Amino acid sequence: MAGAIEVSPAGLFLENMLFALAVAGYLAATAGYLAYLFGKKSLGSYASRLLHLAFFLHSAFLAARTVNVRRVPFVGHFEFGNLFIWACVLVYLWTERRQKEKYYAVGAFLAPLVVLYIGYLTVVPKIFTKVTISRAHTLLPPVLQSNWLKVHVSASVLGYAGFTLAFAVALMWLLKARLQEKSAFARALPEFAVLEEYMYRASVFGFLFQTVMIITGAIWADTSWGRFWGWDPKEMWSLITWFVFAVYLHARFTRGWSGLRTVALVVAGWFAMLFTWVGVAWLLSGIHSFG
């Protein structure tokens, strides 16, 4: 007895069309940023404009989805994934606007991650039958009809977006370190200190929202399930992610760690985040299996 919603053919067409266009836009922007990275410096601003356009289309897709499902599109793997991707681009574009071309190189690492996430939502279910990412338009079951849903999900996508951005910068750091100063390519990437500062700020941003996500999730669990904390895998993996980033922040600030050790912690934190989102859903089971 699933609660499916009747969607008009026009509404469905619009939604699917906007999604396809947004994906095409993200792919094109990724190509642009990569071309910028590999020496076509003049392409940087075009890549940025493409990303803005794709972001606009993606926003329109989310709006169409909202109309079609008659509620916020915050539920289920497909909607959450889209919101998360949207938040990643939002947070990145916000930093890019503040810093102008200084950060186009970051875009060349963030955009492929966005494509990776889209691939997870669209291509992976076609390859692995165990992964079923439904695009069905479903009504909210009563347990999810709560304002906490909006706060909790908004905080979690913003937190994940911060961690994704931090991870993108960690990858830049690793690549730069790997190539050493010999190569012109490595020299074109921002200085290590700049990268570490960016990574730190993105992590702090993610950490703040991850904290809000865990707290609002616990308060919501208390009002609907009768407990703040149930030790279920989704809860535990959010906490693990939070711990890893807490260790990173302490190590950087109070122990004065820098360089590879902090980069490794951010990479580990991103994997923990990814596992919270993807791994828990398909490899572990729990009460959160609806989203």
Partner 1 sequence: MARDFKRRQEAGGSLRRVLRFLSSMQLGIGLLLLLAAISIFASLQEQEKAVADIYRSFWFIGIMAFAALNLLLCSLRRVKPLARLALQPQKVQTVEAIKKMPFYRAVKLTPADGGGGGAEKASAALRALGYHVSVAESPEGKKIFGEKGRSGYFGSFLTHFGLLVILLGALVGSLTGFEYTGGGIAGDSFQVPGGNFTVRIDGVRMVQEPDPTVRPRVYSDVVVTRGGSQVAAGTVAINEPLRFQGNTIYHKTFRYVSEIVIKNPATGEETTKQVSEQDLLAVGSEGSYIHFLKFFPNFSMTEQGMPYSINWLPEKPVLAGILYNSAGQGERPVLLQLDKPQVIAVAAGEIELTLKDFQDAVVYTVTRNLGRPLLLAGALVLVFGLYLCFAVSPRRLYAACERDGDVIHLGGSSYRGRIGLEEDLARVAKELAQQEVEA
Q: How many CB atoms lie within 10 A of CB 13?
A: 12
- Distance from chain centroid for Cα 277: 10
Q: Looking at the DSSP assignment, which residues form a beta bridge with residue 4?
A: 138
Buried b / exposed e across 258-280, counting CB within 10 Å, b at 16+?
eeeebbebbbbbbebbbbbbbeb
Using CB under 8 A as the binding rule, whether residue 143 contacts partner 1 is answered as yes
What number of CA atoms fall less than 13 Å from residue 68's CA on the CB side? 25
- Please state the closest distance from residue 81 (CB atom) to partner 1, in A: 21
Which residue number, 73 or 162, has a Cβ lying nearer to ligand HEM? 162
| Residue 94, both tokens | 């916000």
126 and 53 Cβ atoms separated by less than 8 Å: no
User: Which range of residues in 8-16, 25-33, 97-105, 225-233 is near partner 1 by CB under 8 A?
Assistant: 225-233
- Please state the closest distance from residue 207 (CB atom) to ligand HEM, in A: 8
Using CB under 8 A as the binding rule, whether residue 5 contacts partner 1 is answered as yes
Using CB under 8 A as the binding rule, whether residue 150 contacts partner 1 is answered as no
- Please state the closest distance from residue 92 (CB atom) to partner 1, in A: 19
Between vectors from CA 68 to CA 66 and to CA 69, what angle results, nearest 5°? 70
Please report, for residues 46, 56, 59, 274, the alpha-carbon distance to residue 25 in angstroms, rounded to integers and kept in the order given: 12, 10, 12, 24
Helices 147-179, 76-99: crossing angle, 10 deg rounding: 60
Which residue number, 48 or 95, has a Cβ lying nearer to partner 1? 95
Using CB under 8 A as the binding rule, whether residue 226 contacts partner 1 is answered as yes
Given 63, 194, 204, 278, the residue binding partner 1 (CB under 8 A): 204
171 and 264 Cβ atoms separated by less than 8 Å: no
Given 17, 131, 139, 186, the residue binding partner 1 (CB under 8 A): 139
Using CB under 8 A as the binding rule, whether residue 251 contacts partner 1 is answered as yes
Which residue number, 125 or 230, has a Cβ lying nearer to partner 1? 230
- Which residue number places its CB atom closest to ligand HEM? 253
Task: Give the residues lining the site for ligand HEM (CB under 6 A).
Answer: 246, 249-250, 253-254
| Per-position x/- string for 87-106, each x denoting binding to partner 1 as judged by CB under 8 A, each - no binding | --------------------
Q: How many CB atoms lie within 10 A of CB 148?
A: 16
Q: Under the rule (CB under 8 A), what is the footprint of partner 1?
A: 1-5, 139-143, 145-146, 204, 207-208, 211-212, 215, 218-219, 222-229, 231-233, 236-237, 239-240, 243-244, 246-247, 250-251, 253-255, 280, 284-286
